[in-house]
Structure 1
Amino acid sequence: MRTLVIGLVAAAALIGLAPAASAHAELLGTSPSNGEHLASSPSEIVLRFSEKVTPVRDGFSVLSGQGKKAVDAQGELVAGDSTRIRLPIPERLPDGVYSVTWRVVSADSHPVHGAFVFSVGTAQAAPLAGSGAEAGSDPVVGGVFWLFRLLGFGAVALLLGGVFFALVCWPAGQTDPRLRRIMKVSWWTATAATVGVLLLQGANSSGSSILSAVDPGQVLDTVGTNFGILVVLRLALLVLGAILLTRREIRPVVVTLVGLALVVTWSASGHAVAGDLVPFALAMDIAHLSAMSVWLGGLVVLVACVLWRGRKSPDTVALGRFSRVALIAVAVLAGTGVLMALREVGLAGLLSGSRYVTLVVFKAGALGLVLWLAAMSRTSVQRQLARPARKERTEAIVRLRRSVWSEAGIAVVVLGLTAALVATPPAELYSNQAEAAVVSGPFLSALALPGGDVQVWVSPASPGDNEIVVNVRDERGINRDVPEVSVTLTLPSGGIGPLPVPLSKTGRGQYVAARFTVPSRGTWRLSVRVRTTDLDATSVDADVPVS
């Protein structure tokens, strides 16, 4: 145990000195760059990311200044470089301002998206504020997807932990009917959750609705990715494991190898495969999930089978063995969790207060509480179990049941936090803009004004926080300064508004509301009032669909 602690401390020091990993892909640059002015039409658009990415089908668009599709853009990986995506431009773009929206999947299977603008010829556009990568998907799809991941985590952990408990701690209980029922329910739940994740990944990646989960094209796209291959492999391993466990003679070595392979399918599709120190991170993640499975699955079997009220006397040998195994498992769980958190956010990142760090702190606190409960209760219970008096042994068993139930409850909380950590970016992308999600896509329109126009951008045009950008331009499409610009939003069908939009001037003729909350879905009327002189003012309206 001392060697384990020394090893974990040394590894933590090394990882703490390393730069923080970014688990989601970041947009490092584009060609043309955001706001760049080109003398002539480009032949292609190239996006460069911080790690390997996978383009999403129909995840790219090039829109004109009037918000219409300029070309049929299909993103493809640059040959020999999975960190770059190119959009061929087959036909010449007329002079004007163009916006590019994109959506890709990171190496850790999470989708990211963003947008930027450029101009061609006589027109000129100001850079789009907040043009970096953002993480997000349809909120319904994201919620159901997280639920399936949670069920999958729990069922696989219960399945593997239950098998480990029967093979190592309680060999006499391998034929126990209650244990076999638990294993069957766990297997079916794990299989159903795995199928659900496979179907929902396409909708999660594309930002589409939950109805698109059964789209054959999206499912085939998912199966062709690393994530899809790992999920299909997980299904095959579950089937193989069921066959092995139904045999009369169970081979522990073979079952252990299948169990480890199941854990690998989880680890290899998450944060561990993105960023630096991938082999080390993968090993830590496998150890982390294996320890969780042993601990969580063992607790459930302990409560439901060994300490079952209908059993006259619990197997004290199994209790003693699992007590030692659980202590090691929780220690490994805590140690590897700290190491992975350090790798993801770095020492400085632990003080950032991000959502990811908050979840790590809660998880560490839950594990610390488990260690304290286990140490306090089991020491007392083991002493009383050694006494011959029947009454004292019965009281000790009752207290042990309560202690194990408390641990099991905390284990469920830890499981939920683990599933949430898997779905949370370790470093909030671009100043916590990760909560934005593209569902219907950003809104872009150019509204005519005397002597030019006003370009309006609303992203992601969905309920919640939105970025609103207003560019006042002259006849050549170049931003111009005016004395005053004001914007309001009104929902006529709902009787809401007008809501004033607080704008900040960020450049010549550009006004931005970085985080304006649109309260609900519907067709919102965006009214822009531009005062061009001390005496002249013009108001223009645009209908913005928010869904």
Structure 2
Amino acid sequence: MLYLRRFRTMGRMLGLAFPLVVLLLFFSALPAEAHAILLRSDPGKDAVLSTPPTRVSMWFSEDLNPTSSTAEVVNATNTRVDAKDAQVTANDPREMIVSLPANLPPGVYVVVWRTQSADDGHVLRGSVRFSVAAADGTVPQVTGKVAPGTGILGGTSNTASGQLDTTSFISFLMITLVDLCVVFWVGAQLWHNFVLQLNDTEDVELRAADQRAAARFEHGFALPVLLLLLVANIGVLIGQGLDISNGDWGQALAPTTFQDLLFHSRFGSFWILRLGVVVIALVLAAFTNVVRERPRAMDSILSWLNLLLSLALLTAVTLSGHAAAVSGNLQTFAILGDWLHLLAASLWVGGMLYLSLIYLPGLRRSALSERAYVLLSTLGRFSPLALVGVVIMAISGPFNAVVHMDSFAQLLTTAYGRSLSIKVLLVVALLVTSAIHVLVYRPRLKKVAAQYDRAVDQTEASADDEEKRPLASAPEVKQLERAVERQSRRLTKVLHWEPVLGVAVLVCTGLMNVFAGSLLPAVSQPTSQPTATVKPYHGTFPTKDHQFTINLTVSPNRFGTNVFTVSVLDSKGKPDTNVGVSVYTSMLDMDMGTDSVNLQPDGKGHFSAQGDLNMGGHWQLRVEIRTPEDTLHSGTVDITTPF
């Protein structure tokens, strides 16, 4: 009956969270993509124009922060040529325009853009290349050593190559501190409501241990944790300012930068909500430190208020995070999945942190038998809470991975994917460690503690009746006492290691947040000059139905415009030129859509055309062959393109 009451109480309390989430989702579930990426532009990428354009228009996958999103246009010598009036249009928050001077001379031009999502605040950079042809139809070639667009608007972020520079490290540190403080503080509130308040026993030692734990958190941890959370929350905003200003501290700390970040995006609104919740929690924590002698009814009210604040904090953090920028149909599920994942971390990891840092230190002064009894009883009350966290994490974790990633290859080819892979391994290690303490060490301690209690009772009864030797000299009791102490020490050691693994999981989560802006591969930074390692790609592979063999060449196989050349061999190994050939390019490291290149016969048994690989990294090329009977045959190959 006791466990039944516990689960009913837990269900009622956790049920309070879902109406809050649904209410906020109702007002915030707007269509979005996984960050503000470029969908199309005018002029289009690699366009060759006979008439100079008067402006560039770009359309992105989600609403932009108009004060932090911009663009510049440079020529082949990396000289800026636009009118310096880049802006997000008033009637479409997903469109950005920039004016160009009249009679733009023939040449190659690069539009470098930087966007900040209005949903999750992430910053993304990219470029579009187009050319203006001369009167005779020719296009001047780029002859400079520095590629056009290099170093404009901060260039390529180090997070794209899986590296942490000063700016990205600050963001990573602040995000990780926010997650750690949120998980610990929310986990403490869940402990107070679902573990400590479910103690129905009249055992004096058990109640004293619970009271010591509650007082230890209120007077020694609540205020410092919330203050650190407040500082880290502000640090997240500073990190975004540094990202936008390319590491310029003066500009990042300027009041206008904070104003732009806070009042021109939904991220800013939910950041303010996060700040408000933390400030209210700080006021309540200060009150509990000042007014230590309180009626029991007031303690119950404070516990309820802190629980509601913790649920509101989880919601605000989720709505200002990565899930807020997922595509429209999945956005509600992504936000709910992230919220549940954060709740699971609070139940499991936050609960273990509370057990290790708050509860266990209070048992050191207890007698051995009482310590074992209190520890076993408390773990029995905490286990249902941890089990709920494990189940929720097991369900929400894979869903979040599917939502934010496009292929299993990204687990190895991207910094985000590698961080996720390490996180999964750490979670498995955490599960194994938890299983050891639940299935091995705890039953052993329970068994030997019961034997010790029986031996003590028998020895005391024998001493009372026959005035035999005192308890301390009974060999059997001494041996059992040492066994209880040894098993308690083993169990306690495991309980201290579990939260360490949990913290490592949160560190991986922080890395995923930093590297999730574009899911770029962890490759070295692009250089301003082509290196000797850049070689054309040559490959031979069959179609899926093995009716044709494809010889593919991509030259020069680097960032920018490339020539795709294909020769087709039939099932007998003879060239077949009576077909149509197209190449479809898809970036594996981030969702950029799929582009097509229609190849033309060159009269020599080959099909070729120019196409664009607009960033270095891992690409999938699908070669599609259309026969005169209008049947399609396709084969795919993955290539790595240097910068």
What is the TM-score with the length of structure 1 in the denominator? 0.70
CA distance, structure 1, for counterparts of residue 518 and residue 72 of structure 2: 27
Among residues 325, 329, 353, which one is paired with 1:300 in the alignment?
A: 353
Partner of 2:216: 177
CA deviations on 1:137-190 (whole Å, 9 max, x unpaired) are 782111111111111111121111112212221244364235531222211111
Aligned position for 1:105 = 116
In 1: Cα distance, 2:518 partner to 2:236 partner:
24
SS at match of 2:94: strand
| Separation of aligned partners in 2, 1:358 and 1:345 | 12
Q: Is the 8 A contact 1:118 1:125 kept in 2?
A: no
Pick which of 147-156 and 224-233 moved more: 224-233
Shift of 1:286: 0.5
CA contact (8 A) 1:234 1:262 kept: yes
Q: Residue type matched to 1:92 in 2?
A: A
Instruction: Look up the match of 1:75.
Output: 86
Q: Is the 8 A contact 2:185 2:225 kept in 1?
A: yes
| SS of aligned partner of 1:113 | strand
Q: Quote the residue 1:189 is aligned against.
A: 228
Q: Which of 384, 387, 401 lines up with 1:327 in the alignment?
A: 387
Aligned to 1:231: 271
Which of 89, 94, 106 does residue 96 from structure 1 map onto?
Answer: 106
1:340 is displaced (CA, Å) by 0.7
Query: What residue is the counterpart of 1:124 in the other structure?
Result: 139
Instruction: Check whether the contact 2:187–2:350 (CA below 8 A) recurs between aligned residues.
Output: yes
After superposition, the Cα gap between the structure-2 partners of 1:354 and 1:64, relative to the gap in structure 1 and judged at 3 Å, is closer
Q: Is the 8 A contact 1:95 1:119 kept in 2?
A: no
Structure-1 separation of matches of 2:141 and 2:269: 42
Moved more, 346-355 or 319-328: 346-355
In structure 2, the partner of 1:199 is 238
Is the Cα contact below 8 Å between 1:58 and 1:74 reproduced in 2?
no
Task: Say which SS state the counterpart of residue 400 (structure 1) adopts.
Answer: helix
Query: Given that residues 74 and 148 in structure 2 are in contact (C-alpha distance below 8 angstroms), is that contact kept between their aligned partners in structure 1?
Result: no
Following superposition, the deviation at residue 22 of structure 1 comes to 6.4
The amino acid of 1:236's aligned partner reads G
Aligned mates of 2:250, 2:486 — CA distance in 1: 54
Paired position in structure 2 for 1:535: none
Q: How many residues align?
A: 432
The secondary structure found in structure 2 opposite 1:147 is helix
2:169 matched to which residue of 1?
A: 143
Q: Which runs of 5+ in 2 are unaligned?
A: 1-6, 12-31, 198-209, 289-293, 454-480, 538-554, 561-643
Match of 1:378 among 430, 438, 442: 438
- Contact 2:245/2:252 (8 A) holds in 1: no
Question: Contact 2:341/2:397 (CA < 8 Å) preserved in 1?
Answer: yes
Counting aligned pairs with the same residue, the percent is 23
Corresponding residue for residue 343 of structure 2: 290
Q: Which residue of 2 aligns with 1:539?
A: none
Specify which structure has the higher proportion of helix: 2
- What value does the CA root-mean-square deviation take over the aligned residues? 3.4
Q: Deviations over 1:297-352 (max 9, x none)?
A: 22122122322153314434332111221122123123211111022224655676
Query: Looking at CA atoms only, which structure, 1 or 2, has the larger radius of gyration?
Result: 2
Q: What secondary structure, in the 3-state scheme, does the structure 1 residue paired with 2:221 have?
A: helix
Q: For residues 440 and 247 of structure 2, what CA distance do their matches in structure 1 show?
A: 55
The CA distance in 2 between the partners of 1:203 and 1:83, in whole Å, is 23
Residue 73 of structure 2 is aligned to residue 62 of structure 1: yes
In the alignment, structure 1 residue 241 sits paired with structure 2 residue 281? yes
- More divergent stretch after superposition (414-423 vs 348-357): 348-357
The answer (yes or no) to whether the contact 2:69–2:87 under 8 Å persists in 1 is no
Contact 1:70–1:93 (8 Å) recurs in 2: no
CA shift at 1:130, angstroms?
11
Matching of residue 310 in structure 1 with residue 364 in structure 2: yes
For 1:100-151, what per-residue CA distance to the aligned partner results, in whole angstroms no more than 9, with x for missing partners? 21111134322111223334463735699999x9665782111111111111
Flag structure 1 segments of 5+ consecutive residues without an equivalent.
5-20, 436-463, 470-486, 488-499, 516-547
The residue aligned with 2:450 is 387
SS in structure 2 at match of 1:42: coil
Paired AA for residue 259 in structure 2: L
Answer whether contact 1:367 1:414 (CA < 8 A) is retained: yes
Distance 2:141 2:391 in 1: 54
AA paired with 2:312? Answer: A
User: How does 1:250-261 map onto structure 2 within 5 Å?
Assistant: 250=299, 251=301, 252-261=303-312
Match of 1:13 in 2: none
> Within 2, Cα distance between the matches of 1:415 and 1:207?
27
Q: Is the 8 A contact 1:22 1:344 kept in 2?
A: no
1:264 to 315, 318, 338: 315
Q: List aligned pairs for 1:423-502, cutoff 5 A.
A: 423-425=514-516, 428-429=519-520, 432=521, 465-466=525-526, 468=528, 501-502=532-533
SS at match of 2:405: helix
- Give the distance between the partners of 1:41 and 1:347, measured in 2 at CA: 40
Kindly indicate whether the alpha-carbon contact (under 8 Å) linking 1:25 and 1:53 is maintained by their aligned counterparts in 2: yes
Q: Equivalents in 2 of 1:125, 1:31: separation in Å? A: 21
Q: Quote the offset at 1:50 in angstroms.
A: 2.7
Secondary structure of 2:39's counterpart equals strand
- Is 1:222 the counterpart of 2:274? The answer is no
* 1:359-374 alignment runs, 5 A limit: 359-374=419-434
In 1, Cα distance between the equivalents of 2:403 and 2:270?
24
Aligned residue identity for 2:488: I
CA distance in 2, matches of 1:269, 1:125: 46
Alignment partner for residue 31 of structure 1, among 35, 42, 49?
42
Structure 1 position 289, deviation (Å):
0.6
* Equivalent position to 1:420, from 480, 498, 511: 511
SS of equivalent to 2:96:
strand
Deviation of 1:468 (Å): 4.4
Task: Specify the alignment match of 1:438 in structure 2.
Answer: none
- Specify the alignment match of 1:354 in structure 2: 414
Over 3 Å counting, the alpha-carbon distance change for 1:403 and 1:191 in structure 2 is: same
CA contact (8 A) 1:100 1:116 kept: yes
Which amino acid letter does the alignment assign opposite residue 222 of structure 1? Answer: L
User: Residues 514 and 69 from structure 1, CA distance in 2 versus in 1: closer, same or farther, beyond 3 angstroms?
Assistant: closer
Q: Quote the Cα distance in structure 1 between the aligned partners of 2:89 and 2:409.
A: 33
| Structure 1 letter corresponding to 2:402 | L
Partner AA of 1:124 in structure 2: V
> For 2:120 and 2:54, how far apart are their aligned partners in 1?
31
Q: 1:496: which partner in 2?
A: none
Change (3 A) 1:205 1:394: same
1:167 is matched with 193
CA distance in 2, matches of 1:135, 1:330: 35
